[in-house]
């Protein structure tokens, strides 16, 4: 999945069996359960820039572009061959960071932060970033590395891609150039550089790597960028052009239902291609935030249940009580009640079994919440895709809990 950053990395969980184990505590022997893993977002400070409404788009390109920035500068002619003496006195070739630093931006919101960049596209000069960098914020600001604020005046979300484009009126020339026809011009093993806001700390880094995979929507790379780099351009060194927008994510999956079930969370670093976006949807900021709130609430509930599962699948017992009972956790009340019951004196085996059944019953109900999503037909294609992914995760959780409940005698 490719929406929210995760709290845990590199998790591989194996269930030992499909029955409750016993967790020994100083209070009393605690019976427990089994299951799955996680997501999160970066805190940052807020600014008060909220884009105004924009009209509906056409399907093929970003509709309401700002005034065209004028023709892009022609490529510099090839340098004439130089003698050794002339070469010794030649100016050094600027690094990719030096070339594109004027067009890199920092995006800061009240709930998260990330990276972006200015690029010429369809006759306009836009701020490009990941949609998930904006999602969840009630307001945000955009500024250049040197601190100049960028005035944005709209929002367009790519169909089914984690890409947003913000029309802006501050910068009128230049921009990162986007490479067309990646399938012909990029190969596995090509060098790339990722430029972006590491860990949301407003410190732009230059991270090198290679192309490791090319798909119809994605380019995968081995550059070790991190969550705050989401929204950064992935620059193809050979051509000096952007081929994708960097997206850091965790892929969650469960395999082998039964006693050998495995819960995996794997770091993936890839970028959404910029050369084949099929369509865009212009959105007002209020409409975007309403959709994001629905999607984020669903993802948060999935995260909380998956975290409990990962804890139990690793320890065959609940050990991270603080995580599951903290404020804002959707299953905090259930886990808190369960802990009170199983730590009560003179509980007995039948009481412990009843407590297990009760907890599983309520978690099973929690897994089924949120679906079907109301008014989903009016959502953007990107939000619909995220909701479908969440439904797949919930189906996995539901199936596992059903099997787990069946083992309680």
- The rounded average pLDDT for each run of 10 residues, N- to C-terminus, in the chain (409 residues) is 33 33 30 31 32 38 44 40 41 72 92 90 94 93 93 94 96 95 97 75 77 94 84 95 86 53 65 94 94 95 90 83 96 96 92 92 94 92 93 90 81
Nearest to 315 by CA among 34, 39, 37: 34
Cβ pair 236, 273 in contact under 8 A: no
Query: How far is residue 336 from each of residues 322, 330, 361, measured CA to CA in Å?
Result: 10, 11, 15
Could you report the per-residue pLDDT of 345-385, keeping only the tens digit for each? Answer: 999 999 999 999 999 999 999 999 999 999 999 999 999 99
Residues in the chain: 409
105-64-147 Cα angle (round to 5): 20
Query: How far is residue 245 from each of residues 17, 39, 110, 123, measured CA to CA in Å?
Result: 42, 20, 22, 19
Contacts of 375 (CB under 8 A, 6+ apart): none
User: According to the model, what pLDDT value does residue 197 have?
Assistant: 63
Rounded Cα gap, residues 376 and 344, in angstroms: 45
Could you report the per-residue pLDDT of 113-172, keeping only the tens digit for each? Answer: 888 999 999 889 999 999 999 998 999 999 998 899 999 999 999 998 999 999 999 999
Nearest to 72 by CA among 177, 179, 181: 177
User: According to the model, what pLDDT value does residue 317 have?
Assistant: 83
> If you write DSSP's letter for every residue of 28-92 in order, what string do you get?
-EEE-----------------B-PPP-PPPPSSS-SSPPSP--PPPPPPPPPPP--HHHHHHSPP
Rounded Cα gap, residues 85 and 161, in angstroms: 51
Angle in degrees, 0-180, between the axes of helices 349-367 and 285-315, rounded to the nearest 10: 150
Residue ranges of the alpha helices (H) in 212-284?
none
Nearest to 312 by CA among 14, 6, 3, 9: 14
Nearest to 212 by CA among 187, 194, 240: 187
Cβ pair 408, 32 in contact under 8 A: no
Q: Extract the tokens encoding 98.
A: 């030096």
Question: pTM for the complete prediction?
Answer: 0.73
Nearest to 366 by CA among 293, 297, 301, 294: 301
Rounded Cα gap, residues 220 and 109, in angstroms: 27
Q: Extract the tokens encoding 67.
A: 């005034």
Q: Extract the tokens encoding 366.
A: 């929690």
Do strands 280-282 and 124-129 pair parallel, antiparallel, or not at all (unpaired)?
unpaired
> If you write DSSP's letter for every residue of 139-176 in order, what string do you get?
-EEEEETTSPBP-B---EEETTSS-EEEEBSS--S--B
Nearest to 271 by CA among 205, 203, 186: 186
Count H helices, E strands: the chain? 9, 16
User: How many CB atoms are closer than 10 A to CB 100?
Assistant: 25
User: According to the model, what pLDDT value does residue 286 have?
Assistant: 94
Rounded Cα gap, residues 115 and 349, in angstroms: 54
Where would I find the beta strands (DSSP E) of 201-279? 204-214, 218-221, 233-236, 241-255, 262-273
Nearest to 369 by CA among 398, 402, 335, 396: 398
Quick check: helix, strand or coil at residue 186?
Answer: coil
Quick check: helix, strand or coil at residue 374?
Answer: coil
User: According to the model, what pLDDT value does residue 186 have?
Assistant: 98
Sheet order of strands, 104-109 included: 140-144, 104-109, 113-121, 124-129, 164-167, 156-158, 280-282
User: According to the model, what pLDDT value does residue 61 have?
Assistant: 56
Nearest to 96 by CA among 238, 223, 229: 238
User: What domains can you pick out in the chain, each with its CATH number?
Assistant: 12-40+284-405 (no CATH), 84-280 (2.40.10.120)
Rounded Cα gap, residues 222 and 227, in angstroms: 14
Cβ pair 153, 167 in contact under 8 A: yes
User: According to the model, what pLDDT value does residue 51 have?
Assistant: 39
């Amino acid at each position: 999945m490719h929406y929210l950053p995760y709290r845990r990395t590199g998790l591989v969980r194996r269930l030992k069996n499909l029955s409750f184990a016993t967790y020994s505590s100083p209070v009393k022997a605690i019976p427990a359960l089994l299951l799955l893993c996680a997501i999160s977002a970066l805190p940052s400070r807020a600014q008060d820039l909220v884009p105004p409404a924009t009209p509906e788009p056409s399907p093929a390109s970003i509709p309401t572009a700002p005034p065209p920035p004028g023709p892009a500068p022609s490529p510099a002619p090839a340098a004439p061959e130089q003698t050794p003496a002339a070469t010794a006195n030649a100016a050094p070739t600027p690094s990719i960071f030096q070339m594109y630093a004027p067009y890199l931006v920092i995006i800061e919101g009240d709930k998260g932060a990330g990276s972006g960049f200015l690029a010429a596209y369809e006759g306009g000069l836009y701020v490009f970033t990941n949609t998930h960098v904006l999602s969840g914020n009630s307001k945000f600001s955009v500024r250049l590395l040197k601190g100049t604020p960028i005035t944005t005046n709209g929002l367009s979300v790519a169909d089914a891609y984690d890409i947003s484009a913000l029309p802006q009126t501050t910068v009128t020339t230049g921009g990162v150039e986007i490479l067309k026809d990646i399938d012909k011009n990029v190969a596995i093993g090509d060098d790339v550089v990722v430029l972006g806001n590491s860990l949301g700390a407003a410190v732009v880094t230059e991270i090198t790597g290679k192309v490791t995979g090319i798909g119809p929507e994605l380019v995968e790379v081995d550059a070790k960028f991190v969550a705050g780099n989401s929204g950064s351009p992935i620059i193809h060194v050979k051509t000096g052009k952007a081929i994708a927008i960097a997206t850091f994510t965790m892929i969650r999956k469960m395999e082998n239902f039964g006693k050998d079930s495995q819960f995996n969370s794997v770091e993936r670093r890839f970028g959404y291609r910029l050369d084949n976006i099929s369509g865009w949807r212009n959105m007002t900021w209020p409409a975007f935030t309403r959709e994001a709130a629905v999607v984020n609430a669903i993802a948060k509930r999935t995260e909380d249940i998956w975290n409990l599962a990962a804890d139990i699948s690793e320890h065959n017992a609940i050990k991270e009580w603080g995580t599951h009972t903290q404020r804002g956790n959707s299953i905090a009340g259930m886990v808190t009640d369960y802990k009170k019951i199983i730590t009560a004196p003179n509980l007995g085996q039948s009481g412990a079994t009843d407590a297990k059944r009760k907890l599983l019953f309520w978690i099973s109900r929690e897994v089924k919440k949120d679906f079907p999503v109301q008014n989903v037909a009016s959502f953007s294609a990107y939000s619909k895709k995220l909701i479908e992914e969440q439904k797949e995760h919930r189906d996995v959780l539901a199936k596992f809990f059903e099997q787990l409940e069946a083992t309680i005698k």
